[in-house]
Amino acid sequence: MKLLLDESLSPRLARALSDLFPDRLHVEECGLGGASDEAIWQFARVGDALRRGWDSFWREARSPNAARR
């Protein structure tokens, strides 16, 4: 599965994660910079990608079950 990072995360982070996630993408690399959430979700669905952004990282970090994943 691919990892798709949205605009709330830096493209530098996507590059830094390339060793751990070789199939990672940033929305800017896909030509989706400034695109609507719906367009980004559609791209992720079609490309079988897991979309991650700052809000999802934050939500998981605060989750009491995050350490169990």
- State how far the Cα of 51 lies from the Cα of 41, in Å rounded to an integer: 7
DSSP per residue, 14-47: HHHTTTT-TTEEEGGGGT-TT--HHHHHHHHHHT
Mean pLDDT of 49-57: 66
Is pLDDT at 51 greater than 50 in this prediction?
yes
Is pLDDT at 56 greater than 70 in this prediction?
no
Put simply, whether the predicted model's pTM sits higher than 0.75 gets the answer no
pLDDT in tens, 3-46: 888 888 899 988 898 898 898 989 999 899 999 988 988 888 88
User: Would you state the pLDDT for residue 69?
Assistant: 44
Q: How many domains does the chain have?
A: 1
Taking CA atoms, 10 is separated from 27, 63, 67, in Å, by 10, 23, 24
User: Would you state the pLDDT for residue 65?
Assistant: 58
Range(s) of the domain holding residue 59:
2-68
